[in-house]
Amino acid sequence: LACLLATMFFVVPLGLTDHMLGNEPVLLVLALLGLGIACGPIQPINAELAVDVTYPSDETAVESVQQVGGNLVSALMVPVAEWALNQDYEFFRKVRPLDMDVRGDAVLLFTVAAVTILYFTTFDAPLRRTMADEAGGGKDGASVLDGPGFVVEGEETVVAELVRK
């Protein structure tokens, strides 16, 4: 959630148009650097969460479905972003130091990040891979994921025998 909050923070300077800071190239470069640092880890974290929740399904399949779904949503958002680019919003008109004119595409990105934060604050799915790992399916505290079989305790030897054949 911290990454998403930082992303929301760094998106705002990108949309400033008519403000005392809006035309500063240093602010733009710093905002882009901060945005890259803040939102870079989001996709791998999300991929691990998806794999953890859908365990024991195939990791590659889960990540592929997630990638295709993300690409589809991104493609559907292009016309919305193009429309938002032509919009212009003014915030804090009455307070001169905070008065800012923000482009609609920055408002759209801010809104997407806010909706994502709202979703993940209410997300409460069982983390199946973590639960299986903590159950200690192996000997000497070894992880369920460490052995040749990985699905459920007791099936480990069956899977190991199938692999040997």
Please report the pLDDT score of residue 157 as a whole number. Answer: 43
Tokens of 78: 């292009």
77-136 tens-digit pLDDT: 999 999 988 888 777 677 766 667 778 888 898 899 899 899 888 988 888 888 888 887
Non-local CB neighbours of 110 within 8 Å, separated by 6+ positions: 8, 11, 12, 15
pTM here?
A: 0.62
Non-local CB neighbours of 86 within 8 Å, separated by 6+ positions: 104
Among 81, 48, 84, 82, CA closest to 63: 48
141-158 tens-digit pLDDT: 444 444 444 444 444 444
Non-local CB neighbours of 128 within 8 Å, separated by 6+ positions: 52, 53, 54, 55, 56
The pLDDT confidence band at residue 18, using thresholds 50, 70 and 90, is low
Q: Residue 103: beta bridge partners? A: 88
